[in-house]
């Protein structure tokens, strides 16, 4: 959200309006006077008066709140952003950890509003500043930075404070922190109640007051922007238009704000000003054919958090009571069925609101979807639905954070049960438990090597909630420090504070330990190099081999990817995903420790090496494994995760040839909160979904596309891009589709295996691959379908080669480097397969061959 500018209007007029149209029981309290009201224009030499009447203290007047060693003020005369508040014209820069402390006369929820704009400074580049911002109990921003000097960022939080409330700026090593303005202002106690309705499963949950909230969206549905001037709590309400996914089906309704009633209990002018209730979106019947058409709003959110959703309703369209009955859905789930505002308020044009909590696990595609639609099977009444206002607030997670999984002490708190609300509502874990126990067994088995890993990292520890089963993070967090099943968090032997800071993530490795394991990161141990850094093969004490990915600490992108990877991997466990064993973040190192995949990347077994050729069956099994891994990412336990970089070098093979998907550095659970920041296209050339490239819109179908390219790469055993070829053949995806259309695909199949493939199996396989490469995402199948087709292709292959002893067909030894000769099981296949594929073994693409060294 951006800080609102706005047109000048007089408070006097507003007040007189309020007097003209009174709201029954609340006439006296319509104006809120906050007991605590700290407004600071950081870096400013003078107090700053905004046109909403509020005055921000000058930096000097506010210096008493600040404790810091050295800091710098900057200010400019103007900034190139239209309608920006004057608050952005100055800033204070912190070169080391600095703290504002406020005395709070009335503890309870307070607004914390922060204004950021990286002003130019002769020697300090604020666009490269990276810092963490936290209160005593909550992390508000973790490793925050701003992308460009034409950006302004406004952050708004609601935090339950104690008598002393601090805001701490922590610059990252060798960096700076800054802020342009700060507000710490009381909010009425009645604003956020302690309970809300959980959508899935339907339930009432309590304990909300223990969480910090961050405002993600606040929309005046069907109406214009409402600036702090028109809201006694100084909130900004933005129009809903950008989020309404089918505005053609919506019609705005509005009445004079003065006619809005506030009921005796429930909504008050503090909950939302009458100008919010006085406008709404309703269904435009002329445009809508479907009888049960829904109005739908879609908002991007960070899907690793849970959200409080507040919906504001007010029937400003009916002419009689009980005429408007509709359903409310959140993320496709029923929020309220047969909502009849008349019954709830006994009057028309009366404000009503309802709070819902959505569980991170119901967030798909990184969006919160709110819908209202007429209730079906109604005998009478109008077929309509209404929404007047909508607020989405992020709820702090189990790390006490609103940004990432690091707590105020800097420890990483990721874990399987990342969403404390699951515990709050007493999630029925039965099914999950069984599945996890099963996985746990698999995992423990894998770990059962003599000295390999610490026992306490057994998977079973994942089954336990991070902080016991209390109702609040806060109380339970402190108690878990005192006594924890996993022993003290401080390792006495090494004295290293982070040692077992996070059970969910597996083991913490010291830098020293990893130095030993790699002979001080010897170049000889390097088994791969990626955008993130180098990958080393290492041997831990006890002889366990692991792969170590060491990030380049200076790379900001690396840092983000490191965090993404830790966050994602800590939640993901699957036979077909490469497991994270642990990590090291000592001395600003970013090192991830993975299980070692003895047989390396799939690509090495397809071309460009002297490794033996993989049989068709083995290739199918590998593709099936990888497809399972991706399918799990897209639909599995956590929520829709898009890999973004599916390619044959990211499909690794373990010593038993089990395929596992690796490298989540680029993964994206969803576009993040700021919808205006478009996702920069990432991925690998040759695999990139053209639709994603064109529209920069990321969906799981982009992975499906890349996987289709992988399927052709596996079939043809040639690089996805080979510039040395004639132009039409350079790009495999294009060339393969071309051949498919011309019916000549069989000519480009890897000649080493062409004759061993049963024609039915091939047909099914090509069908799957071809569909994946559909031009438009919507036409591509989901990974589940692809998987099904591949499994079917494997069955067909097996049926065609039944005589082969199953295990001998895995590998075909390559006798000659050019791989022209046929192998035993290949011959067997040819004998058994009567419906031959029309492939001459002499057809030999110069590219697709195995190059001898």
Ligand X SMILES: *[C@@H]1O[C@H](CO)[C@@H](O)[C@H](O)[C@H]1NC(C)=O
State the minimum distance, in angstroms, from the CB of residue 124 to ligand X.
9
Residues 147-186, interacting with ligand X (CB under 6 A): 160
Query: Which residue is it, tokens 């001395």?
Result: 587
Rounded distance, CA 559 to CA 563, Å? Answer: 6
Judged by beta carbon, residue 67 or residue 125, the one nearer ligand X is 125
State the minimum distance, in angstroms, from the CB of residue 84 to ligand X.
20
Q: Which residue in the set 96, 128, 337, 821 belongs to the binding site for ligand X (CB under 6 A)?
A: 128
State the minimum distance, in angstroms, from the CB of residue 24 to ligand X.
20
384 binds ligand X (CB under 6 A): no
Rounded distance, CA 678 to CA 666, Å? Answer: 15
Rounded distance, CA 748 to CA 825, Å? Answer: 21
- Contact segment (CB under 6 A) with ligand X among 38-46, 356-364, 440-448, 679-687 equals 356-364
615 binds ligand X (CB under 6 A): no
826 binds ligand X (CB under 6 A): no
Judged by beta carbon, residue 75 or residue 209, the one nearer ligand X is 209
Q: What 3-state DSSP class applies to 292? A: coil
x/- map, 517-556, ligand X, by CB under 6 A? ----------------------------------------
275 binds ligand X (CB under 6 A): yes
Q: Which residue in the set 134, 135, 282, 294 belongs to the binding site for ligand X (CB under 6 A)?
A: 294
780 binds ligand X (CB under 6 A): no
- Contact segment (CB under 6 A) with ligand X among 123-131, 308-316, 492-500, 504-512 equals 123-131
136 touches 166 (CB < 8 A): yes
> Is 442 exposed, middle or buried, given 0-12, 13-18 or 19+ CB atoms closer than 10 A?
middle
243 binds ligand X (CB under 6 A): no
Judged by beta carbon, residue 48 or residue 699, the one nearer ligand X is 699
Rounded distance, CA 542 to CA 450, Å? Answer: 7
- Contact segment (CB under 6 A) with ligand X among 242-250, 362-370, 386-394, 645-653 equals 362-370
Judged by beta carbon, residue 428 or residue 485, the one nearer ligand X is 428
State the minimum distance, in angstroms, from the CB of residue 421 to ligand X.
5
If residue 67 lies in a helix (H) or strand (E), which one and from where to where?
Answer: strand 66-67
Residue 377: count of CB within 10 angstroms of its CB: 6
Judged by beta carbon, residue 165 or residue 562, the one nearer ligand X is 165
Rounded distance, CA 219 to CA 675, Å? Answer: 14
Judged by beta carbon, residue 332 or residue 817, the one nearer ligand X is 332
189 binds ligand X (CB under 6 A): yes
Q: Which residue in the set 362, 384, 789, 797 belongs to the binding site for ligand X (CB under 6 A)?
A: 362
64 binds ligand X (CB under 6 A): no
Nearest to 378 by CA among 283, 293, 292: 292
Separation in Å, CA 669 to CA 52, 107, 333, 366, 841:
39, 36, 21, 6, 45
State the minimum distance, in angstroms, from the CB of residue 812 to ligand X.
39
815 binds ligand X (CB under 6 A): no
**Radius of gyration of the CA atoms of the chain, in A:** 30
388 binds ligand X (CB under 6 A): no
State the minimum distance, in angstroms, from the CB of residue 211 to ligand X.
9
- The HSE-up count of residue 736 (CA atoms within 13 Å, CB side) is 29
> Is 319 exposed, middle or buried, given 0-12, 13-18 or 19+ CB atoms closer than 10 A?
exposed
- Contact segment (CB under 6 A) with ligand X among 10-18, 504-512, 753-761, 832-840 equals 10-18
State the minimum distance, in angstroms, from the CB of residue 166 to ligand X.
16
Angle between helices 616-635 and 700-716 (to 10 degrees): 170
293 binds ligand X (CB under 6 A): yes
Nearest to 199 by CA among 316, 352, 40, 306: 306
Q: What 3-state DSSP class applies to 439? A: helix
Active site residue 240: no
x/- map, 408-437, ligand X, by CB under 6 A? -------------xx--x-x----------
290 binds ligand X (CB under 6 A): yes
Judged by beta carbon, residue 357 or residue 405, the one nearer ligand X is 357
- Contact segment (CB under 6 A) with ligand X among 198-206, 480-488, 613-621, 822-830 equals 198-206
If residue 742 lies in a helix (H) or strand (E), which one and from where to where?
Answer: helix 732-742
Beta-bridged to residue 112, according to DSSP, are 157, 184
State the minimum distance, in angstroms, from the CB of residue 731 to ligand X.
25
x/- map, 305-344, ligand X, by CB under 6 A? ------------------------x--x------------
**Six token digits for residue 758:** 């049963």
97 touches 168 (CB < 8 A): yes
Which candidate in 231, 645, 703, 825 is catalytic? Answer: 645
Q: Which residue in the set 361, 397, 480, 809 belongs to the binding site for ligand X (CB under 6 A)?
A: 361
Residue 283: count of CB within 10 angstroms of its CB: 24
Strands (E) in 162-230, as ranges, are 164-171, 177-179, 181-186, 195-198, 203-206, 213-220
Q: In this structure, which long-range contacts are made by residues 187-192, counting pairs with CB atoms below 8 Å and at least 24 apart in sequence?
A: 187/34, 187/108, 187/109, 187/110, 187/111, 187/158, 187/233, 188/32, 188/233, 188/270, 189/108, 189/109, 190/268, 190/270, 190/271, 191/109, 191/158, 191/233, 191/270, 191/271, 192/109, 192/158, 192/308
501 binds ligand X (CB under 6 A): no
Rounded distance, CA 614 to CA 811, Å? Answer: 5
Judged by beta carbon, residue 203 or residue 604, the one nearer ligand X is 203
State the minimum distance, in angstroms, from the CB of residue 125 to ligand X.
4
Q: What 3-state DSSP class applies to 6? A: coil
Residues 674-713, interacting with ligand X (CB under 6 A): 699, 701
Sequence length of the chain is: 853
Judged by beta carbon, residue 60 or residue 147, the one nearer ligand X is 147
359 binds ligand X (CB under 6 A): yes
CA–chain centroid gap for 808, Å, is 43
State the minimum distance, in angstroms, from the CB of residue 196 to ligand X.
11
x/- map, 220-239, ligand X, by CB under 6 A? ----x-x---x---------
State the minimum distance, in angstroms, from the CB of residue 200 to ligand X.
4
**Six token digits for residue 417:** 């049960």
Q: Which residue in the set 3, 4, 6, 14 belongs to the binding site for ligand X (CB under 6 A)?
A: 14
Q: What 3-state DSSP class applies to 280? A: strand
State the minimum distance, in angstroms, from the CB of residue 367 to ligand X.
7
13 binds ligand X (CB under 6 A): yes
Judged by beta carbon, residue 90 or residue 230, the one nearer ligand X is 230
Judged by beta carbon, residue 125 or residue 150, the one nearer ligand X is 125
Q: Which residue in the set 83, 96, 105, 125 belongs to the binding site for ligand X (CB under 6 A)?
A: 125
State the minimum distance, in angstroms, from the CB of residue 154 to ligand X.
19
270 binds ligand X (CB under 6 A): no
499 touches 490 (CB < 8 A): yes
Residues that bind ligand X (rule: CB under 6 A) add up to a total of 40
Instruction: Return the HEC string of 616-684.
Output: HHHHHHHHHHHHHHHHHHHHCCCCCCECCCCCHHHEEECCCCCEEECCCCCCECCCCCCCCCCCCCCCC
Backbone φ, ψ for residue 328 (5° rounding): -120, 125
Residues that bind ligand X (CB under 6 A): 9-10, 13-14, 108-109, 125, 127-128, 160, 189, 198, 200-201, 209, 224, 226, 230, 257, 275, 290, 292-294, 329, 332, 359, 361-362, 364-365, 371, 373, 421-422, 425, 427, 699, 701, 777
Write out the catalytic residue numbers: 645
């Amino acid at each position: 959200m951006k800080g609102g500018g706005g047109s000048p209007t007089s408070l006097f007029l507003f007040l007189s309006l309020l007097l003209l149209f009174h709201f029954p029981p609340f006439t006296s309290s319509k104006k809120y006077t906050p007991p605590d009201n700290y407004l600071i224009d950081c870096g400013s030499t003078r107090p700053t008066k905004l046109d909403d009447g509020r005055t921000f203290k000058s930096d000097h007047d506010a210096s008493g709140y600040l404790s810091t060693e050295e800091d710098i003020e900057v200010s400019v005369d103007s900034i190139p952003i239209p309608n920006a508040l004057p608050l952005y014209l100055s800033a204070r820069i912190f070169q080391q950890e600095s703290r504002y402390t406020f005395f709070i006369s009335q503890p309870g929820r307070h607004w914390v509003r922060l204004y950021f704009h990286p002003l130019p400074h002769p020697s300090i580049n604020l666009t490269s500043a990276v810092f963490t911002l936290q209160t005593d109990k909550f992390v508000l921003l973790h490793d925050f930075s701003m992308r460009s000097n034409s950006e302004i960022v406004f952050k708004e939080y609601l935090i339950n404070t104690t008598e002393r409330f601090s805001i701490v700026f922590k610059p990252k090593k060798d960096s700076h922190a800054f802020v342009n303005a700060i507000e710490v202002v009381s909010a009425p106690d009645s604003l956020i109640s302690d309970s809300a309705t959980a959508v899935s499963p339907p339930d009432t949950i309590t304990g909300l007051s223990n969480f910090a909230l961050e405002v993600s969206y606040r929309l005046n549905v069907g109406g214009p922007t409402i600036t702090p001037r028109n809201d006694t709590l100084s909130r900004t309400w933005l129009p809903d238009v950008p989020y309404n996914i089918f505005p053609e089906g919506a019609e705005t309704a509005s009445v004079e704000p003065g006619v809005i009633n506030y009921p005796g209990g429930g909504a008050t002018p503090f909950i939302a000003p009458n100008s919010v209730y006085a406008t709404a979106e309703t269904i435009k019947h002329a445009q809508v054919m479907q009888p049960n058409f829904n109005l739908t709003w879609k908002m991007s959110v960070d899907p690793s958090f849970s959200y409080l959703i507040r919906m504001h309703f007010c029937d400003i369209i009916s002419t009689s009571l009980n005429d408007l009955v509709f359903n409310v859905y959140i993320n496709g789930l029923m929020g309220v069925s047969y909502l009849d505002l008349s019954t709830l308020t006994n009057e028309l044009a009366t404000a009503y609101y309802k709070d819902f909590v959505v569980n991170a696990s119901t967030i798909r595609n990184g969006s919160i979807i709110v819908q209202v639609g007429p209730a079906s099977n109604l005998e009478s009444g109008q077929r309509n639905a209404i929404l007047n206002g909508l607020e989405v607030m992020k709820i702090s997670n189990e790390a006490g954070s609103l940004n990432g999984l690091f707590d105020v002490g800097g420890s990483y708190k990721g874990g399987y049960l990342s969403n404390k609300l699951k515990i709050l509502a007493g999630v029925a874990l039965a099914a999950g438990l069984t599945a996890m126990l099963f996985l746990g067994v698999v995992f423990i088995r894998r770990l059962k090597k003599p000295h390999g890993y610490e026992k306490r990292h057994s998977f079973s520890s994942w089954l336990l909630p991070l902080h016991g089963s209390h109702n609040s993070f806060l109380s339970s967090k402190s108690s878990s420090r005192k006594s924890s099943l996993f022993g003290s968090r401080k390792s006495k032997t090494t004295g290293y504070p982070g040692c077992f800071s996070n059970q969910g993530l597996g083991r913490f490795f010291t830098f020293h330990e990893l130095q030993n394991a790699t002979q001080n990161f010897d170049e000889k141990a390097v088994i791969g190099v990626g955008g993130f850094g180098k990958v080393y093969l290492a041997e831990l004490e006890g002889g366990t081999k692991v792969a170590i990915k060491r990030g380049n600490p200076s790379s900001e992108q690396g840092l983000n990817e490191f965090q993404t990877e830790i966050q994602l991997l800590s939640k993901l466990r699957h036979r077909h995903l490469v497991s994270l064993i642990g990590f090291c973040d000592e001395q600003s190192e970013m090192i991830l420790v993975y299980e070692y995949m003895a047989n390396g990347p799939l690509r090495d077994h397809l071309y460009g090496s002297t490794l033996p050729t993989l049989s068709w069956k083995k290739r199918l099994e590998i593709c099936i494994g990888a497809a399972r891994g991706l399918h799990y990412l897209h639909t599995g336990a956590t929520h829709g995760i898009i890999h973004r970089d599916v390619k044959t070098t990211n499909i690794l093979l373990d010593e038993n040839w089990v395929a596992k998907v690796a490298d989540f550095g680029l993964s994206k659970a969803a576009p993040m909160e700021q919808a205006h920041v478009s996702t920069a296209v990432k991925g690998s050339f040759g695999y990139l979904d053209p639709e994603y490239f064109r529209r920069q819109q990321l969906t799981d179908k982009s992975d499906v596309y890349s996987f289709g390219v992988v399927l052709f790469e596996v079939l043809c055993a040639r690089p996805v891009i080979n510039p040395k070829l004639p132009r039409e053949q350079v790009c495999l995806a294009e060339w393969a589709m071309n051949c498919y259309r011309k019916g000549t695909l069989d000519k480009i199949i890897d000649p080493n295996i062409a004759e061993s493939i049963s024609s039915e199996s091939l047909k099914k396989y090509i069908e799957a691959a071809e569909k994946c490469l559909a031009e438009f995402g919507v036409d591509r199948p989901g990974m589940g379908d692809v998987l099904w087709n591949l499994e079917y292709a494997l069955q067909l292959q097996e049926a065609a080669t039944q005589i082969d002893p199953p295990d001998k067909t895995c590998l075909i030894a390559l006798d000659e480097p050019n791989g022209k000769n046929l192998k035993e099981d290949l011959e067997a296949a040819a004998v058994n397969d009567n419906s031959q594929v029309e492939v001459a073994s002499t057809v030999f693409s110069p590219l697709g061959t195995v190059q001898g060294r």
